[in-house]
Amino acid sequence: MNILVIDVGTSSIRGVIYDEKGHPVFWNPIECRVRYYENGLAEQDPEEWIKAVYKITGEAAKFSDIHGINIEGISLTSQRSSIIPVGNDRRPLRPAIMWQDRRNADIVREFEQYQDIVYRHTGARINTVFSGTKMTWFKRNEPDLYGKTMKICTIADYIVSRLTGNYATDPTYASRSLLMDLRTEQWDGSLTELFEIDEQKLCEIVPSGSIIGNISEDFARQTGVKSGIPLISAGGDQQCAALGQGVIREGNVGITTGTGAFILGCIDSVPENLNPNIICGAHAIPGKYVLESSVLTCASLYNWAMRTFFPETVQIEEVNAAVERAPAGANGCIVLPYFQGRGTPDFNDQAAGCFANLNLGTTRDDMVRALLESIACETAINLEVMESYIGKIQNIYIGGGLTRFSEFNQIQADVYRKEIVYDSDFSEQTSFGAWASAAVTLGIYDSYEKAISFEREKHHMRTYRPRMQTREIYENTLKKMQETYEKLYGI
């Protein structure tokens, strides 16, 4: 049984066909671009995603015809907190307001007085990333469009509606809205009222890993796939990445370092001692939860450094070489990597990027290395918070675009002072997790453990171990980062 996975990321959409053993036989990425504007605005045209989905599916169908295989299901995973208002004709009423968008910062500050209530119900803090305050901003600032809105969709919801005709979502997306009760996994009327959102404009919540609809005749006719085949909502991209990495038991943690960094740990139930220094949300595995922390700028920050410090080159290898030339600790250069605010543990949307402790001997090599070290240090702070809930972390699995750079992986191990495991044969943890979800839903495997282990047993899993000689260096780097942050923001 072959399954087509559609993985909608921030910078690209990927289509991957997996066979029944979890082996990829077809892979097709299409780049997509977020448009960043002044005052923290970030938008994208939803039709770009739809065109890409049609193109990817059409090419996957041609591939399957040529090679005599059948696509018997489609599994969908997507970035999670962007919103798209959709009218009665199933077409978007405006560009998507992306998860990075900060136009809702004033509304976040207005609603901060309700932090305790919201966190108690949802396991999430009110912040600029999660979609609830984006919806409030939309209703208040574009009331005419809000009145014409049939449904406020995530990207996944919108794609589901175009492929099947259904409006539905799953708890991995809804748990990042500030509107879903985490324990019942249903919309909470007291929260929709608080955020001024009409509940009928929200999509129905169905379990993660369930068949969310069947492919319509229209979509089948335009792409070449069979009509009526099931579409599985595998869950949000970070939950699927964690599943693909093997984060399926308590004590396991996955770190995906892409546009931003997301740190997810598996947990069996919502902790009783939950505090607003971490996010608790639904896992891609029904009935399980994830504890989640985030660093908002990672690969996007490294790309900025490449454009800014190395304008003469477009070769990432040259920038990587600069990092390798600089010593551990970057000759004392310190960075606060908050170029789009700070995520966990305190969600400070007023925080900004900062270079500190520079001198006349500081080089651009030092500065770009310090950026990567700062990302790892910020992640280490969040790992310490996570251990306060799940105890000693047993295994750390890493993935995402930045992990293709081996030196960054060694920096992570050194800063965390823990062994980390990297699948050097395969970088598609998110789509692999989405395949595993569908494989269990469609009965190919009877457990997530079996689905994950069957293919991964063949992979070369590289382990990075912390180097003792860097321990004092990075302890000092982390201490100076925290001192600088506290002095700047009084926190």
Condensed to tens digits (0 to 9), the pLDDT of residues 163-214 reads 999 999 999 999 999 999 999 999 999 999 999 999 999 999 999 999 999 9
Mean pLDDT across 351-363 = 97
Residues of the chain with pLDDT > 70, as a percent, come to 99
pLDDT digits (tens, 9 = 90+) for 60-101: 999 999 999 999 999 999 999 999 999 999 999 999 999 989
Closest by CA to 239, choosing from 249, 254, 251, 258, is 254
Whole-angstrom Cα distance, residue 91 to residue 418? 48
What's the chain's Rg over C-alpha atoms? 22
Q: Is the pLDDT of residue 280 over 90?
A: yes
Q: Is the pLDDT of residue 157 over 70?
A: yes
Asked which of 356-360, 400-404, 462-466 is least confident by mean pLDDT, the reply is 400-404
Closest by CA to 363, choosing from 397, 325, 318, is 325
Give the relative orientation of helices 46-66 and 155-164 as an angle to the nearest 10 degrees: 50
Q: How far apart are the first and last CA of the chain?
A: 54
Whole-angstrom Cα distance, residue 126 to residue 111? 7
Give the residue with greater pLDDT, 453 vs 289.
289
10 Å CB burial of residue 143 (0-12, 13-18, 19+) is exposed
- Domains of the chain, CATH where assigned: 2-238 (3.30.420.40)
Q: Which residues of 445-469 are buried (b: 16+ CB within 10 A; e: fewer)?
A: beebeebbebbbeeeeeeebebeee
Q: Is the pLDDT of residue 457 over 80?
A: no
Whole-angstrom Cα distance, residue 463 to residue 470? 17
Reported as a pLDDT band with limits 50, 70 and 90, residue 273 is: confident
Q: How far is CA 462 from CA 19, 238, 411, in A?
A: 25, 21, 15
Reported as a pLDDT band with limits 50, 70 and 90, residue 455 is: low
